[in-house]
Amino acid sequence: MTQRVFMVLWLLLAALKLALAVHLPLFGDEAFYWWESRWPAWSYSDLPPLTAWLIGLGSAMPGAEIAVRWPFLLLGLLLPWQVAWLARSSHGEAAAWTAGILALVLPLAFAIGVMAVPDVVMACLSVAAAHQLLVALAPPARARPWLLLGVVLGLGMLCHYRFAALPLVIALVVLMHPHGRATLRTPWPWLAALVAASTLLPLWWFNAGHDYAGLRFQLLDRHPWAWQSDGWLQLAEQALVVGPVLAWIMVATMWRLWRRRPLAGNEMTLAVLASGMWLLFFALGFVADNERFRWHWQLPAYLVALPLVAGSWSTWSQRIRTAALAVSALVIALVLAYFAAGIWPSAQGGWFDGKRFPANFSGWREVAAWQREADAGATPVIVDNFMLGAALTYYMAPERRDAVRVLDDPLNSRHGRAAQLAIWSLDEAALASQPPAPGWLLVEETARRFSDRWDWYRNLCTRFAGLRLDGVLDLFDGRKRFVRWRHDGYSTQPHCDTAALPPLGWVDQDRQVRHRGEPVLVSGWVTQAGQGIEAVDIRIEGQAPVSVSRTREAAWARQHWGELGDPAGDRLGFGVVIDTRDWAAGTYTYQVEARRPDGLVWPIGSGALRIDR
């Protein structure tokens, strides 16, 4: 594969990445890293400082999301060139552009560089470290390559604690390499290790001053450190993020290399680096965090392995090579579709429903605009979790960015952000230490499981004086929902005013398909503590609204939430049969709303009816 093919693909993917970086709303974690960049520090409770520092550098430039992302976008665009450079050093000019093209079609490598996250920085530094190691292990022993290697490894340690895997594997390579063992008798590897270790001082300084919050989260709190049999799922996950055919070629290439041992020279260095990193993270997958996205952990291993694959690429048949590129390109198309759903959530057509919905991209611009419309003066805004707090701070008017405070929430702790909010005095403990002041309470209802919402709302109700429902923002057919109150101040209350609690309910079978003339049942249940529900309204696109009462028994709410205080008791259910004989074929959306006796109208759910001929 030629340099011209590489350039055409690189320009095409660069244009796609640039468009995504400009139009894609900030991911929730990106927003928090941006928030950290506004508080320069030697480290943070979730990550070392380099990501926040780069975002701070980018944010000095004008622009919206692209200002946050452009340093990471440039690094992502540099990465295929780095892989080509590494392949040229290890296997010569013929393999360089092949390796670069393989880096371009690696789906996981395409995904990074679009967002301002540490993975693209770690990927670039990992490839740079591999190249410097090749140079350092070439006789005679020289100071400069080792010192540069130490600098690269040190920068990596400032990026993420996970980067520590690379120095460990590099130490193994040096011990296995004949010239590496000889080099240990010179001062240069030890000086490189000292340079790399010196960058740990800022991390130690931060952790020692804050109860070792960063180390505790990354090494203890987020990991169960117990055997998890679903670790075997990593095999399928990794095949997907590489592309199944290309993954098979990688495995076969590594197997061939190890079978013809002893390996020597550059092939040995890259093979041990790639295999060591991959196996280390694969083993960790059986005992470490499996709740958050882990598919990207092995990316540096794949990038280092690509020169080895490129070196033997011509030995594979044309059919296999074409299949590898085509399947990986198909996976990239799926990644593009996911990012597109993040830009246009309403247009994703059900392809990314449920857990696949891009919730961490969606709704931030809309909720910030909604809050700006209601905002006035210096009224503080209290939110329920770090992600909403960070996104709201970013998308709020610049003069209001210091108004956001964050309540304690399990989500904050699970992502290592609770300690950071406490350091900034933006958490609930800081609120409790201040005199009560009136303001806004804004929460993301859909950030928690449906079964947890009743108790969560009642708990919120007892933490604020004078809590009054102000409104609801229902987005993307209920996939994101934000609720807002006014309050007289953060202050523990002995009782909950049930008028401050929003209705909660469920809609059965939110997607139905019927032939024209067949009846359609729209049913569900809804509950409201205190005053109950006056009526349930079903509003179907293009049809007259239908109002029904709650007459059916629905025991789920009482069984899971206990005594509800709803005058209807267990008769919380509603149902209405819709006559479709006069309907034209097509898809009809509908909304279900609850109407309280005090006049409040509240969205309960939505759905779609498809009528076939």
At 419 the pLDDT is 96
Return the axis-axis angle of helices 65-91 and 118-136, rounded to nearest 10°.
20
Domain 505-612 -> CATH class: mainly beta
For the chain, what is the largest distance between any 2 Cα atoms, rounded to a whole number of angstroms? 89
Listed in sequence order, the residues at least 6 apart from 65 whose beta carbon sits closer than 8 Å to its beta carbon are 21, 22, 23, 24, 25, 26
At 293 the pLDDT is 74
Q: Bridge-partner residues for 523, per DSSP?
A: 575
At 543 the pLDDT is 75
At 352 the pLDDT is 66
Q: Tokens standing for 549?
A: 């009462």
At 385 the pLDDT is 96
At 586 the pLDDT is 86
At 394 the pLDDT is 94
Q: What is the pTM of this model?
A: 0.93
Helix boundaries (H) for 415-539: 418-423, 428-432, 453-461
| CATH number assigned to the domain covering 364-499 | 3.40.50
Running along the chain, 613 residues long, what does each successive block of 10 average in pLDDT? 89 95 95 96 95 94 88 96 95 92 94 92 97 93 93 97 95 91 92 95 94 91 86 90 94 88 81 94 88 85 96 93 94 92 76 76 94 82 96 89 93 94 96 93 95 93 93 91 95 89 89 81 92 93 84 91 91 89 85 93 89 80
> Closest Cα partner for 27 from 375, 359, 495, 437?
359
Return the axis-axis angle of helices 28-37 and 386-395, rounded to nearest 10°.
70
At 198 the pLDDT is 95
Amino acid letter, 506: W
At 393 the pLDDT is 94
Q: How far is CA 224 from the centre of its chain?
A: 20
* Four-residue CA torsion sign, 134, 139, 141, 142: negative
Q: To 5 degrees, how large is the angle CA 451–CA 386–CA 411?
A: 40
At 196 the pLDDT is 96
Sequence spans of domains, the chain: 3-211+227-337, 364-499, 505-612
